[in-house]
Structure 1
Amino acid sequence: MEFISTIVNAEYVTYAVAIAVAVAVLVAVLVGITVLARFLFRLFTVPGVVVHEFAHKQACDLVGVPVLEVAYFRFGDPPGYVQHVTPDRYRASFVVSVAPFLVNTIVAFAAFLGLATLVSTTGDIRAASSETIAAAAVLGWLGLSIGMHAFPSRGDANVLWNRSRTEWRGSPRVLLGVPIVVVIYIANLLSWLWADVLYAIGLFVLAAWIVGFGVA
């Protein structure tokens, strides 16, 4: 009986070890897939991050705000940033914070216009040359990536909100920026529901409509 009991216990140990190994392998695979997916997503959004931070940098130069450090893209959090001194005027803070929305939207829309025009003039995409297909893919990638990063960050909204809250008594005009702050907060909140992607797709739909309308 003791021999049989020993065999049964050994089987239980074997099963437990096998289950533990299987779980460990499954977790490692899931973690690996997650890391790979994040890496590929970061690569996909490189143009959007670069244009976003470039807009911040150019806005700082435009309004005379000294820039301390710039990272147009990196594999970290955040993927890009522009560190600058605190602007003396609310208007300068507003321009620096909102610049990426305007620049990314214009650049993404231009890329989508190019894509829509290329597709409309090609006709049957299946009969298009490899160069045309590659150009369409690049324009679509640029438009989607850049459009996804059009929304200002929560940090930009925080800067505007703090300045609006502290300066509105001395200059009631800063209250005009409060609706923009609210929109930025909502956009960042809805980004969990892929609102940034839907915004980029909306730009493409508008570009396609314009090209189609022009043809008609």
Structure 2
Amino acid sequence: MFFIPGIIITIVTFPGVVAHELAHQLFCRLCGVAVFEVKYFQAANPAGYVIHEPVRNPVHQLWIGIGPFIVNTLLAAIIAFPAAIPVMKFSSGNSLDYLLLYLSISIGMHAFPSIGDAKTMWNTLWHGEDTPKWLKVVTVPVVGIIYAGALGSFFWLDLFYGMGVSLGLPVLLIKMMA
């Protein structure tokens, strides 16, 4: 593997950053949590963010934190499906197919919650006085997986995940239906 500065990857895959922040904002809205400020993309660290009011229900913080994993994964799969089959099975993709795959892979790459998301979940849920014990138990592995994903991104885990959702999943679904 080779090293590419994170800011370059972030700029190239900016649709994924935008989708990631939209997912946080969507889950804030679904949970009735007011959003104060959103930065969908910037060429800096962090690449995007959502600032919202403190949650009233601790489980909402978990949903807001993992929202990008759900939304980006589904969005990447849906965008890729019509393009992946011609490209992967028939080697006959056109420029629109490759554009859709680029969008899909970049969105899938940003499905993992960030370290900042993990820290917010941990601080809100683990240290919250009104957090139920079952939610604290759920939070520990979720935060651990997020940290493992962040470590794995050094080894291109995010790219492999994006490609798996965008290229592998549609082909697998077709094989299962055939």
Aligned with 1:141: secondary structure? helix
Instruction: Tell me which protein shows more helix as a share of its residues.
Output: 1
Matches of 1:163 and 1:38, distance apart in 2: 29
Q: Would you say 1:134 and 2:95 are equivalent positions?
A: yes
Residue 66 (structure 1) aligned to one of 27, 30, 34: 34
What is the aligned residue count? 173
Which of the numbers 158, 163, 186 marks the counterpart of 2:124?
Answer: 163
Per the TM alignment, residue 42 of structure 1 is displaced from its structure 2 partner at its CA by 3.5
- Secondary structure of the equivalent of 2:38? strand
Residue 169 of structure 1 deviates from its aligned partner by 8.1
Q: CA RMSD in A?
A: 2.3
Residue 178 of structure 1 and its aligned partner are, at CA, apart by: 1.8
Q: Percent identity?
A: 35
C-alpha separation between the residues in 2 aligned to 1:168 and 1:69? 27
Question: 2: CA distance between counterparts of 1:95 and 1:82?
Answer: 14
CA distance in 1, matches of 2:170, 2:162: 11
TM-score under structure 1 length normalisation: 0.72
Per-residue CA distance 1:66-86 (angstroms, 9 max, x = gap): 111111112222111111122
Counterpart for residue 157 of structure 2: 195
Shift of 1:167: 3.6
Structure 1 equivalent of residue 61 of structure 2: 93
Q: Deviations over 1:127-166 (max 9, x none)?
A: xxxxx51111111101110000000010111122223332
Tell me what 1:25 maps to: none
Between stretches 195-204 and 97-106, larger displacement belongs to 195-204
Query: Which of 70, 84, 90 is residue 52 of structure 2 equivalent to?
Result: 84
Q: TM-score w.r.t. structure 2 length?
A: 0.86
Q: Which has the larger radius of gyration?
A: 1
Q: Could you say if the C-alpha distance between residues 141 and 158 of structure 1 is closer, same or farther in structure 2, counting changes exceeding 3 Å?
A: same
Q: 1:210 aligns with which of 151, 173, 177?
A: 173
Distance 2:125 2:172 in 1: 38
Structure 2: runs of 5 or more not aligned: none
Distance 1:53 1:170 in 2: 25
Which amino acid is 1:102 matched to? I
Aligned-partner residue type, residue 159 of structure 1: T
Please point out which of 84, 109, 117 is paired with 2:85. Answer: 117
CA-CA distance at 1:38 after TM superposition: 4.4
Residues in 1 aligned to 2:72 and 2:153: alpha-carbon distance in whole angstroms: 16
Q: Which runs of 5+ in 1 are unaligned?
A: 1-33, 126-131
